[in-house]
Amino acid sequence: MRIKNFVLGLGILVVFALVLWQGIEAFYPSPQWDDYCDERAQKVVPDRQGDVVDEQTCIDNGGTWRNGYCDYYYECQQEYNNVKDSYSQKVFFISLIVAVVAFILGYTLLQTEPVGSALMASGVWSIFYGTVINWRNFTDYWRFGILVLVLILLIWIALRLNSKKKKRFWFWGWGR
């Protein structure tokens, strides 16, 4: 019975992760590089003769001269990065909300195994997913703070769940 519950719980976790990812993509699609730089890529014709492009030639052809080379995608890449950063922050908050809901549902359904524990694990996965998507937007201090906060929260919940069981058994006369 334990192996069946483990497999079912793992299945719930995996499918939950896929539903989260696909749900966000379906209702809030991620920005695509081609939408910002595809036209530029079609305009840029690579120099097949090996001529060195100088700064003026680069600027005349719509590029940006950067550190001795011509970057034809600099402006569209900056625009894409800005949109991607905004998208990543929103996905982080969506995932955080989903994590809280999954955790609360998992906690209330904890008596029904493996559903309760799988939903709690799905909540942890949601936090992980949102944080990874938005990782580049966090400073090192924010990264550290988020990880410490989640670790403390998980330890607190684990202690609370396990101490609750001990007290409940002790109250019924089955404990120490």
The predicted-structure confidence for 93-136, as pLDDT tens digits, reads as follows 999 999 999 988 988 887 788 888 899 999 999 999 999 999 99
Give the number of other CB atoms < 10 A from CB of residue 84. 18
Average pLDDT over residues 140-153: 91
What pLDDT does 78 receive? 93
Average pLDDT over residues 15-43: 88
Reported as a single tens digit per residue, the pLDDT across 78-87 is: 999 999 999 9
137: DSSP letter:
G
**pTM passes above 0.95:** no
What pLDDT does 54 receive? 82
The domain limits of the chain are: 2-137
Would you place residue 174 in the very low, low, confident or very high pLDDT band (cuts 50, 70, 90)? Answer: very low
- Mean pLDDT score of the chain: 84
How far CA 6 is from CA of 10, 118, 120, in Å, comes to 6, 9, 14
